[in-house]
Amino acid sequence: MPDIRDVPDIDSLGLRADCGSCFALCCVALPFAVSADFALNKEAGKPCPNLREDFRCGTHTTLREKGFSGCTVYDCFGAGQKVSQVTFGGTSWREAPGTAKAMFDVFPVMRQLHELLRYLAEVLTLPKARPVHRDVRRVLGEIEALTRSDAEVLLGLDVPALRQEVNVLLLRASELVRGRDGKAKGKNRRGADLMGAGLRGADLRAANLRGAYLIAADLSGADLRSADLIGADLRDANLAGADLTGAFFLTQLQVNAAKGDARTRLPEGLDRPGHWER
């Protein structure tokens, strides 16, 4: 377990996907449904027809062109390699078919745990959230230890209860980061239906956009500095020229699902997707 007296980052916690160390769990364990994101239907537990024997994608370089844009957006937060290399000790479901069901069932549980770790680790990088750092370190350590449990323990976890415990800390951190004199500032758009909304150039500094539906919204040139974007649905949202400096609880998955350009300013630690306009 990492030394949580220090500030852990997503790399030290193994929260960045390493597909080369995974048994292609996202390509097998998860179901696909025909949509704008996937070109075919696939049942959970069945390998995608594009999956090769070496656990690599046979159409990786042309996924978007062939209707699999959802695959280019997905992020397991490092859960795939944790299940493959730690929970099941580096033995694949092809080598030991009897482990396949348990491995596939554990994967979505591990992904949720890694997602929680990712948010908790981010809180520890936010100076204004210092009042909750001690509790965050404690919970982070407890969850990190759980990720190293065996499959039976992982499958028996009450994940909703864990999420609720973490959410209390994340909400408090959000208020502290967005606040002044103990009170949160910025517009409250938590859970708002903003699908296709015209928010070009909008002032959304320190806004609460937790769980907001921003699908295909025009956020070009918008000021999203220090906004809380946890769970915000940014699929096809236009972030061209938007300023997300200091925005927090924003993941690479959300960035990958949006549209942006060379002028889009992202928080430190997030990469500009290759499919964005140059």
pLDDT number for residue 87: 98
pLDDT per residue rounded down to tens, the chain (278 residues): 444 446 677 788 889 999 999 999 999 999 999 988 888 899 999 999 999 999 999 888 888 888 888 898 899 999 999 999 999 999 999 999 999 999 999 999 999 999 999 999 999 999 999 999 999 999 999 999 999 999 999 999 999 999 999 999 999 999 999 986 545 677 899 999 999 999 999 999 999 999 999 999 999 999 999 999 999 999 999 999 999 999 999 999 999 999 999 999 999 989 999 888 77
**Torsion region of 28: left, alpha or beta (phi above 0 gives left; psi -120 to 50 gives alpha):** alpha
pLDDT number for residue 1: 40
What secondary structure letter does DSSP report for 266? Answer: P
pLDDT number for residue 2: 42
Burial of 79 from C-beta contacts in 10 A (0-12 / 13-18 / 19+): buried
128 contact partners, CB below 8 Å, separation of at least 6: 176, 177, 179
pLDDT number for residue 6: 60
Give Cα separations from 55 to 30, 176, 180 (angstroms): 15, 44, 50
d(CA 225, CA 230): 14
Length of the chain: 278
Please state the pTM of the whole predicted model. 0.91
d(CA 47, CA 33): 14
Asked if residue 239 lies in contact with residue 266, where contact means CB atoms within 8 angstroms, the answer is: no
Domains, the chain, in order of start with CATH, read 19-177 (no CATH), 186-278 (2.160.20.80)
The structure tokens listed for 235 are 């699929």
DSSP string covering 183-230: EE-S-B-TT-B-TT-B-TT-B-TT-B-TT-B-TT-B-TT-B-TT-B-T
pLDDT number for residue 72: 85
d(CA 105, CA 88): 12
